[in-house]
C-alpha cells in the first residue's frame, strides 16, 4: 500500500451533474496500482495501522494531486511538426505534415519520436492519450512498444489513407485491412493498450476504405462490452475548405458527418476531432448514435480553423473532451488547451468554469474514450494514474494563489498560468515515473 498526503482534487458525476471533490488536507491510498481510498487525512488516517502509515506516508505540502490528464486527440508523428509557420489546414497538411509522416516507414525513426513523444506527454502530466500513428505499420509498432515500456494506458492506430495524398503515405483498402487486423491482434487489449481504427478523414479515404474501417470495428467490437472493443478516431468539420472538399468528394451525402455515419463509423467507441462547424442535423445524429467529440482549442487557434461552441454540444448532450491535437496544436500541455478553451468560450460570451475544464481533461475525457470504468478520477478501484502539481512552480503562480481562494479559483489560476512547469511528479499505477 502507498499513502499520499496532499491537497487532492478530482471530478465526480452525481445525478448527471459534474462536481469537484476537494480535500485541502487529503489522503490518497493506493493498493496494487488501484485507488483504495480517498478522503480527509484526519478521518482516513485512523483506518490504517499507525506504524504502516507513518512508514509509508509521502507528504506533499505544497502540491495538489489530480488524476492523470487524458489527451483524447493527438498525433505522435507530428512531434516535430509543431510550430510550423503560416498555413491553414490543407496547406499545412501538404507542406509540413505529410512530409514528416513519410519518415515513419523507418522503425528506428518512429521509435525515436515515440520515445520523445511519451516523455513529453508525461512531462506535461498526460498519462493517457488516443493518438494517430502514420499509415506505416512500423509507426504503430513503435508507438505501442514504447507505451508498453512506460506502462501507460494508451490508444492508437494505423492511419488509413488511400487517396489524395502522397503515394508513399497511401495504403489500399486491402493492405490497410490486413495491416490493421494484424496490429489489432497483436496490441488490442494487451496490458493497458487499446487499438483505434484510424481513417484520417473523408478527404483521404475512399468510400470502400471507410466501409472497410467499419468492418474492422464490427469484427472487433468487444462483444457485449463496448469497452473491450476497438475505438475509432477521425476528423470532422475542422476547416471550411476541408468541408467544401468533403462535400465535393461525397456529394450524395446529407452533410460531412453523414459520410461517416452512413459508412457505419458512428457510435460510442467513435471519437470525432474538432467539430467546429457541425450543423444541428449533424449534432443530432452524433448524439443519437452515441458518438463522442474531441475539441482541439490550441490547434484551432494555431491553424486559424475557427471557434467551437461548447454550449451547442451541451444542448445536444454529446460527450466531449479537450485535447491537444499536437502538431496542429502548439502545446502538449492540457493546461494550455484548457486556457485556450476558456478564451474561445469567452469570445462567444460563454465562461468555461475551471471544474468543468478539468473534467474535460480527466473524467470527461475518460468517458469520451469509453474508459470511465478504469480512469478519470479517484473512485475506488480505478487505476492509480495521477500527477502531483507544484503550487509553487513559478513565482507568479505562488503569488497569485491566495490562502482564502476557493478550489474553483485555485484551479482557474492553474489553468490560466500553468503548463509543464506545474507537473512535479507523475505516477502510473501508483508508481512514480522518472521523467528525463
Which cell is 237 given?
Answer: 468539420
Site string for ligand GUN, 198-237 (x = CB under 6 A): --xx---------------------------------x--
Q: Distance between terminal CA atoms of the chain?
A: 26
Q: Which does 238 bind (CB under 5 to 8 A by kind): ligand GUN, Zn ion, none?
A: ligand GUN
Q: Binding Zn ion by CB under 5 A: which of 325, 372, 419, 424?
A: 325
Which cell is 281 given?
Answer: 442535423
Nearest approach in angstroms of CB 282 to ligand GUN is 17
Which cell is 232 given?
Answer: 475509432
Q: Which does 97 bind (CB under 5 to 8 A by kind): Zn ion, ligand GUN, none?
A: ligand GUN
Of residues 326 and 428, the one with the C-beta less far from ligand GUN: 326
- Contact call for residue 325 and ligand GUN (CB under 6 A): yes
Nearest approach in angstroms of CB 173 to ligand GUN is 19
- Contact call for residue 238 and ligand GUN (CB under 6 A): yes
The residue number with the shortest CB distance to ligand GUN is: 328
Burial class (CB in 10 A: 0-12, 13-18, 19+), 96: buried
- Contact call for residue 299 and ligand GUN (CB under 6 A): yes
- Contact call for residue 328 and ligand GUN (CB under 6 A): yes
Site string for ligand GUN, 71-110 (x = CB under 6 A): ----x-------------x---x---x-------------
Q: Which does 330 bind (CB under 5 to 8 A by kind): Zn ion, ligand GUN, none?
A: none
Q: Binding Zn ion by CB under 5 A: which of 125, 273, 297, 319?
A: 273
Which letter, b or e, does each residue of 209-237 get, where b requires 16 or more Cβ atoms within 10 Å of its Cβ? bbebbbbbbeebebeeeebebbbbbbbbb
How far apart (Å, rounded) are the C-alpha atoms in residues 355 and 366?
15
Stretch of residues binding Zn ion (CB under 5 A), selected from 47-55, 308-316, 321-329, 384-392 = 321-329
Of residues 242 and 325, the one with the C-beta less far from Zn ion: 325
Of residues 89 and 338, the one with the C-beta less far from ligand GUN: 89
* Spatial CB neighbours of 284, under 8 Å, sequence gap ≥ 6: 316
Mapping DSSP to helix (H, G, I), strand (E, B) and coil, where does residue 189 land? Answer: coil
How far apart (Å, rounded) are the C-alpha atoms in residues 202 and 242?
9
Of residues 8 and 337, the one with the C-beta less far from ligand GUN: 337
Nearest approach in angstroms of CB 298 to ligand GUN is 10
How far apart (Å, rounded) are the C-alpha atoms in residues 325 and 334?
10
Total interface residues for ligand GUN by CB under 6 A: 11
Residues at the site binding ligand GUN, with contacts judged by CB under 6 A: 75, 89, 93, 97, 200-201, 235, 238, 299, 325, 328
Amino acid at each position: 500500500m502507498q499513502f499520499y498526503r496532499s491537497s487532492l482534487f478530482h471530478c465526480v458525476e452525481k445525478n448527471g451533474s459534474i462536481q469537484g471533490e476537494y480535500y485541502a488536507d487529503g489522503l490518497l491510498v493506493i493498493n496494487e496500482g488501484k485507488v483504495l481510498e480517498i478522503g480527509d487525512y484526519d478521518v482516513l488516517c485512523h483506518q490504517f495501522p499507525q506504524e504502516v502509515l507513518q512508514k509509508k506516508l509521502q507528504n506533499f505540502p505544497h502540491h495538489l494531486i489530480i488524476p492523470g490528464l487524458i489527451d483524447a486527440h493527438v498525433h505522435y508523428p507530428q512531434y516535430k511538426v509543431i510550430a510550423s509557420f503560416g498555413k491553414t489546414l490543407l496547406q499545412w497538411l501538404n507542406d509540413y505534415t505529410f512530409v514528416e509522416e513519410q519518415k515513419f516507414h523507418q522503425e528506428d525513426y518512429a521509435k525515436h519520436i515515440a520515445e520523445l513523444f511519451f516523455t513529453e506527454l508525461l512531462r506535461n502530466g498526460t498519462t493517457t492519450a488516443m493518438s494517430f500513428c502514420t499509415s506505416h505499420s512500423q509507426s504503430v509498432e513503435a508507438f505501442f512498444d514504447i507505451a508498453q515500456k512506460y506502462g501507460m494506458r494508451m490508444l492508437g492506430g494505423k492511419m488509413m489513407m488511400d487517396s489524395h495524398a502522397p503515394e508513399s503515405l497511401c495504403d489500399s483498402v486491402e493492405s490497410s485491412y490486413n495491416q490493421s487486423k494484424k496490429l489489432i491482434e497483436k496490441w488490442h487489449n494487451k496490458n493497458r493498450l487499446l487499438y483505434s481504427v484510424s481513417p484520417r478523414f473523408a478527404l483521404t479515404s475512399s468510400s470502400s476504405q471507410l466501409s472497410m474501417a467499419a468492418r474492422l470495428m464490427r469484427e472487433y467490437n468487444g462483444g457485449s462490452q463496448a469497452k473491450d472493443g476497438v475505438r475509432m478516431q477521425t476528423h470532422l468539420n475542422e476547416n471550411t475548405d476541408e468541408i467544401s472538399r468533403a462535400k465535393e468528394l461525397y456529394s450524395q451525402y446529407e452533410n460531412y458527418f453523414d459520410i461517416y455515419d452512413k459508412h457505419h463509423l458512428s457510435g460510442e467507441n467513435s471519437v470525432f476531432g474538432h467539430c467546429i462547424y457541425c450543423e444541428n442535423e449533424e449534432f443530432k445524429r452524433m448524439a443519437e448514435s452515441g458518438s463522442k467529440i474531441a475539441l482541439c482549442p490550441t490547434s484551432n487557434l494555431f491553424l486559424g480553423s475557427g471557434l467551437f461552441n461548447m454550449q451547442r454540444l451541451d444542448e445536444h448532450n454529446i460527450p466531449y473532451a479537450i485535447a491537444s491535437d499536437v502538431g496542429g496544436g502548439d502545446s502538449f500541455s492540457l493546461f494550455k488547451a484548457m486556457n485556450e478553451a476558456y478564451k474561445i468560450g469567452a469570445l462567444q460570451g460563454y465562461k468555461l468554469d475551471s471544474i468543468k475544464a478539468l473534467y474535460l481533461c480527466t473524467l470527461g475525457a475518460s468517458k469520451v474514450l469509453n474508459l470511465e470504468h478504469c480512469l478519470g478520477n479517484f473512485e475506488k478501484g480505478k487505476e492509480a494514474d495521477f500527477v502531483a502539481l507544484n503550487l509553487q512552480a513559478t513565482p507568479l503562480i505562488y503569488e497569485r494563489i491566495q490562502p482564502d481562494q476557493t478550489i474553483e479559483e485555485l484551479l482557474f489560476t492553474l489553468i490560466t498560468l500553468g503548463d509543464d512547469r506545474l507537473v512535479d511528479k507523475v505516477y502510473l499505477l501508483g508508481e512514480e515515473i522518472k521523467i528525463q
